[in-house]
């Protein structure tokens, strides 16, 4: 049995990757099993948090911390246990911020030789715009063939853009640093442009039978930034003044 996680941050194509890998008959790829706020992909595998609705999420995290500390190994052992179902690779998605309230997660991954697919989006501008656009439009994924031009342009707050880009660049470094020393494979969102080769490489890494896997969804955002951003000229000038010209079309 190959044990694995997809270790990432928001808006990196992780939902596309887990749902596409999950179509392979030998792979079980669940969503964020440590997602606190709601349901996940393969919700039957979600960790059972204590939740008190009268207090905020931060206090709920504090309350759950000792519970997770005591039950993490048992929960993961059960998740990764072999079953008579033809599955030879079992995994789930772990978001970077979830490691803050899952004490012992890294030592478990190392001790149990869990393979770590580190998924990073190198273009922090595109990552930021994808996040801000999704929050603005409430459209997060494209699994129903929505045309990219059907979603209206949105106006960028440049201060918010700059802060978010710096945050994402910091998170990317943390992903690499946190996974150093683990059995990892770094994959970039940009590698999805060569989808077949990327997926074939991941199948080798997960030790499953090679087969063609189609992406379960299409890109949500347009290729040209000016088709996405209402104040594109203002944003472009701001990026050029700060040395971000490599991210422009």
Closest CA to 161 of 72, 75, 39, 244: 244
Residue 143's pLDDT is 54
**Residues 217-222: what's their mean pLDDT?**
76
Is 131 or 20 the better-scoring residue by pLDDT? 20
Per the DSSP assignment, residues forming a β-bridge with 185 are: 117
What count of other Cβ atoms lies within 10 Å of the Cβ of residue 205?
17
Q: Is the pLDDT confidence value at 133 over 90?
A: no
Total domain count for the chain? 1
Residue 146's pLDDT is 52
Confidence of residue 149 (pLDDT cuts 50, 70, 90): low
Q: What is the CATH number of the domain that holds 131?
A: 3.40.50
Beta strands at 27-30 and 89-95: parallel, antiparallel or unpaired: parallel
Q: What is the mean pLDDT of the chain?
A: 92
Q: In terms of residue numbers, what domain contains 229?
A: 2-247
pTM (two decimals): 0.91
Residue 144's pLDDT is 55
Q: Is the pLDDT confidence value at 145 over 80?
A: no
**Residues 41-67: what's their mean pLDDT?**
91
Q: Is the pLDDT confidence value at 139 over 80?
A: no
Residue 58's pLDDT is 84
What count of other Cβ atoms lies within 10 Å of the Cβ of residue 134?
17
Residue 9's pLDDT is 94
**Residues 227-244: what's their mean pLDDT?**
93
């Amino acid at each position: 049995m190959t044990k694995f996680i997809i270790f990432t941050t928001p808006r990196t194509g992780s939902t596309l990757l887990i749902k596409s890998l999950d179509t392979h008959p030998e792979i079980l790829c669940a969503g964020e099993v440590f997602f606190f706020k709601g349901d996940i992909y393969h919700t039957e595998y979600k960790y059972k948090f204590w939740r008190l609705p009268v207090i905020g999420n931060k206090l709920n995290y504090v309350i759950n911390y000792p519970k997770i500390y005591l039950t993490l190994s048992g929960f993961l052992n059960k998740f990764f246990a072999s079953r008579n179902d033809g599955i030879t690779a079992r995994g789930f998605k772990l978001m970077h911020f979830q490691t803050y309230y899952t004490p012992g997660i890294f030592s478990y991954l190392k001790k149990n030789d869990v393979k770590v697919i580190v998924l990073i989006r190198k273009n922090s501008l595109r990552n930021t715009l994808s996040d801000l656009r999704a929050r603005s439009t409430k459209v997060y994924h494209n699994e129903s063939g929505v045309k990219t031009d059907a979603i209206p342009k949105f106006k960028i707050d440049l201060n918010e853009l700059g802060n978010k880009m710096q945050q994402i660049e910091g998170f990317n470094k943390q992903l690499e640093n946190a996974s150093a020393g683990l059995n990892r494979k770094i994959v970039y969102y940009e590698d999805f442009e060569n989808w077949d080769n990327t997926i074939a490489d991941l199948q080798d890494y997960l030790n499953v039978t090679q087969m063609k896997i189609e992406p379960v969804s299409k890109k949500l955002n347009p290729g040209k930034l000016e088709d996405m951003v209402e104040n594109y000229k203002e944003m472009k000038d701001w990026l050029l003044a700060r040395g971000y010209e490599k991210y422009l079309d």
